């Protein structure tokens, strides 16, 4: 239903931000791809999008110990190397020696083993367009990997290696992750294998506008990243973000930086979304994604007045698509989504993350505010 796609994409494709956003994949002999670069015309603090503050290590508790987390996760994080054939070189000297041969490019990243039978989750941008994919375990064993499926909407991909009894990582419930708790990034930055860095969860449900939408190809970006200050660099992409017990809370995907290297901000896909996408790719080869069928808006002071809302809580439903799940459930424009099940939602990325865990045909419980009352609705998701 084309009307649903056009309206839905208008609610999830936002303007790009000025801060540079980088995918953390390491490419040999190539520049890191930049989503949007900040102007380097001046180094004054007025033109910098963010400023870093001094960090006082003396404030850290003395009994912090990440050895258990590292031990539980290191063997489940792999090093991924790919080969990509790129276009011909328009250089007469090169063509004199090599003719019209195409160039083969190497790239590397990280991945996380999620099953003993050899399923590995990573970022789509780590393996995109690869001719061959090679996976190296923490014990240096190397395997050729098969690409099972990709999901550009979340920048996730699923690989499979022919191995048994692999060390896996346990999934944590990313809904339970709290801002301020410890987080460890495990991966292979700059081809330095088995690297662990520590930080805290800085924010949740962060949209950094890095994924490209294409509704004709049914690519609807879902960006609800966990933000952390654990050091993440090129090569970390697809690696694990774990809690202090070594349980997976996210897949490291991007950093905010002017240089392409760590500057204090990194972003990971929540583990609950990873679990849904990886499960669908393993079972179906593609993600089974359902939609409510609404046009959403963030609530600001202007909407507060125009819709006569009591506060800024929740996400405003500005429009409902005819014959959609929302329409069938009796949801109307002006309703405000306060929660999906037991999980409160405070912005559009957070709502997308919760809906993204469900499949077409699933009945999703919503807590809404209509006027001065709260109401419950069950919405059956439909496929576009």
Tell me which residues are annotated as active site: 125, 155, 237
CA distance 38 to 259: 10
Closest CA to 79 of 223, 219, 177, 193: 193
Query: Would you give the DSSP letter of residue 189?
Result: G
CA distance 324 to 339: 19
Output the DSSP codes for 56-111: -GGGS-TT---HHHHHHHGGGEEEEEEEEEEEEP--HHHHHHHTTPEEEEEEEEEE
The CA R_g of the chain, rounded to the nearest whole Å, is 22
Kindly report the CA angle at 374 between 373 and 376, in degrees rounded to 5? 140
Q: Which residues contact 37 (CB under 8 A, 6 or more apart)?
A: 20, 258
Tokens of 356: 């993204």
CA distance 28 to 147: 22
CB 128 within 8 A of CB 86: no
CA distance 1 to 312: 32
């Amino acid at each position: 239903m084309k009307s649903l796609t056009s309206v839905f994409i208008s609610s999830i494709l936002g303007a790009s931000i000025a801060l540079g956003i980088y995918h953390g994949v390491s490419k040999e002999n190539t520049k890191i791809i930049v989503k949007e670069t900040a102007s380097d015309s001046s180094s004054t603090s007025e033109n910098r999008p963010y400023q870093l503050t001094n960090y006082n290590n003396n404030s850290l508790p003395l009994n912090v110990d990440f050895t258990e987390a590292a031990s539980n996760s290191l063997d489940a994080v792999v090093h991924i190397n790919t080969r990509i054939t790129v276009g011909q070189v328009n250089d007469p000297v090169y063509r004199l020696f090599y003719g019209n041969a195409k160039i083969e490019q190497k790239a590397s990243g990280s991945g996380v083993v999620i099953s003993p039978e050899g399923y590995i989750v990573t970022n789509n941008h780590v393996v995109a367009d690869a001719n061959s994919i090679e996976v190296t375990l923490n014990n240096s064993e190397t395997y050729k990997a098969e690409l099972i499926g990709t999901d550009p909407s979340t920048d996730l991909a699923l690989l499979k290696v022919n191995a048994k009894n692999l060390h896996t990582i346990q999934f944590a419930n990313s809904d339970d992750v709290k801002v301020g708790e410890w987080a460890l990034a495990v991966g292979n930055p700059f081809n330095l294998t088995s690297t662990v860095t520590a930080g805290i969860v800085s924010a949740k449900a962060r949209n950094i506008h890095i994924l490209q939408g294409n509704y004709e190809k049914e690519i609807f970006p879902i960006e609800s990243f966990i933000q952390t200050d654990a050091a993440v660099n090129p090569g970390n992409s697809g690696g694990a973000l774990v809690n202090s017990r070594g349980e997976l809370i996210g897949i490291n995907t991007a950093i905010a930086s002017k240089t392409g290297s760590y500057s204090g901000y990194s972003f990971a896909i929540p583990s609950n979304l990873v679990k849904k996408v990886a499960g669908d790719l393993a079972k179906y080869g593609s993600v089974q994604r359902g939609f409510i069928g609404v046009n959403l808006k963030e609530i600001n002071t202007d909407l507060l007045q125009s819709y006569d809302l009591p506060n800024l809580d929740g996400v405003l439903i500005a429009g409902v698509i005819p014959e959609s799940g929302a329409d069938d459930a009796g949801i109307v424009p002006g309703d405000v989504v306060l929660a999906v099940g037991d999980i409160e939602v405070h912005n559009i990325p957070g709502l997308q993350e919760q809906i993204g865990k469900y499949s077409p045909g699933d009945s999703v419980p919503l807590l809404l505010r209509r006027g001065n009352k709260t109401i419950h609705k069950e919405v059956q998701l439909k496929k576009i």
